[in-house]
Amino acid sequence: MSQRRIQPHYPTPGPAFSYEVSEENGQVLVHLDSGTVALDVAQGDGSAGWCRPAGGLLLPFAYAWVGNDLHLWLDGDLFIFQPAEQRSRRRVDASAAGGNIASPVPGKISKVLVQVGDTVEADQAVIILESMKMEHLLKANGAGTVVRVLVEEGQQVDRSGLLVEMSMGS
């Protein structure tokens, strides 16, 4: 694979970095600006399986390309990366603004874990979203109070759709 530049988009936007993936001696090597990460990978169907960072724990993973975006599920957490050259043209995830919680992917609401008036802590789970046969735990970006819950269990949602409105610092 040729070297590309990619930029974190969700859960926290960040600076672009270069990456390249190769295989050597039965390991997958991910070459990053900051160094190389060696992974022992036991794949299931080619886009999901288990990986072990050198000296680390065995972690479940799955990935999918959604358009030009890379969606990576690692040990239950969702990370979305975009090609660096497209970052400036894309809408920023609504969860980054004002503490509101937006859907990072299209899917179905499995469980709403908060109600209007609830006080939540930073990183507290507020919604469980099912997408691509996986459950994603959506968490509060900071401490605050739930102002509105805009979805209900079983509802289909689009990517970037607002799910929970928060008043931060309450």
* Strand-by-strand arrangement of the 144-149 sheet: 101-102, 162-168, 144-149, 119-120
- Do 103 and 72 sit in the same domain of this protein? no
**Is it the case that residue 91 has pLDDT exceeding 70?**
no
Say yes or no: 81 and 148 in one domain. no
Mean pLDDT over residues 59-72, rounded? 78
pLDDT at 110 (0 to 100): 94
d(CA 42, CA 161): 35
Are 108 and 47 found together in one domain? no
Q: Do 61 and 32 sit in the same domain of this protein?
A: yes
**Do 53 and 98 reside in the same domain of the chain?**
no
What is the domain count for the chain? Answer: 2
State the pLDDT at residue 97: 47
* 60/162 Cα distance (integer angstroms): 28
What is the domain extent for residue 22? 4-88
For the segment 7-19, what is each residue's pLDDT rounded down to a tens digit?
A: 887 777 778 888 8
Q: Are 104 and 159 found together in one domain?
A: yes
Residues above pLDDT 70, as percent of the chain: 86
Q: For 148-163, what is each residue's pLDDT tens digit?
A: 999 999 999 888 788 9
Domain boundary among 61, 88, 115: 88
38-56: pLDDT as tens digits:
887 776 556 777 888 777 8
Is the domain of 58 the same as that of 40? yes
Average pLDDT over residues 77-96: 55
Is residue 80 domain-shared with residue 123, that is, in the same domain? no
- Which of 147, 149, 169, 170 lies closest to 161 in space, CA to CA? 149
Same domain, 8 and 83: yes
Cα separation, 78 vs 72, in Å, equals 6
CATH of the domain at 163: 2.40.50.100
> Where a domain ends, among 88, 103, 134?
88
Q: Do 16 and 59 share a structural domain?
A: yes
Average pLDDT, whole number, for the chain? Answer: 79
Same domain for 84 and 102, yes or no, is no
Q: What pLDDT score was predicted for residue 59?
A: 82
- Residue after which a domain boundary falls, among 88, 121, 153: 88
CA distance 157 to 151: 8
Would the pLDDT of 99 be above 80? no
pLDDT of 90 above 50: no
Measuring CA to CA, which residue among 105, 104, 103, 106 is closest to residue 150?
103
